[in-house]
Amino acid sequence: MQGNLARLSFTPNPNYDPSGREAEVLHHMEGNLLVDVKQKRLAEIDGTLQTSVKFAGGLLGHLDKGGTFLVKQREVGSGSWLMELLNVNMNGKVLFFKTIAVHQKESDSDFQPLPADLTVERAVEMLLQGQNGNK
């Protein structure tokens, strides 16, 4: 335990039969989870592909062993949770020929609550100000 967060480790279950591509990828991962036990929310998942992932026996493509996946979420107020970090690094091939490389990093912060009496007009004005670099 780390405060309200429980750290759990996960490894592939050889008896699990994944039902889709995303589940297939997760089935080949090993890593850690942080779960907020009071709110029953996933705060973080950090995993590494332990083996290559083959789609349709490798005919449709594969992801190479060693790819990583990290997602962090946090409470931003009133029981609402948002993703603050996404970091994916995976390589592979599609249909034997095309090399794929997924290297995505997204980081969000400085979440601010909006006024309860916010109108659509004021929301649009705030968005336009944000696009112009004004606050």
Give pLDDT tens digits for 93-128.
988 678 888 888 888 777 777 788 889 998 888 888
DSSP character string of 97-109: TEEEEEEEEEE--
The domain spans of the chain are: 5-110
User: How far is C-alpha 21 from the chain's CA centre?
Assistant: 15
Give pLDDT tens digits for 41-93.
999 999 999 999 988 887 788 899 999 999 999 988 888 899 999 999 999 99
DSSP character string of 51-85: S-EEEGGGTSEEE-TT-EEEEEEEEEETTEEEEEE
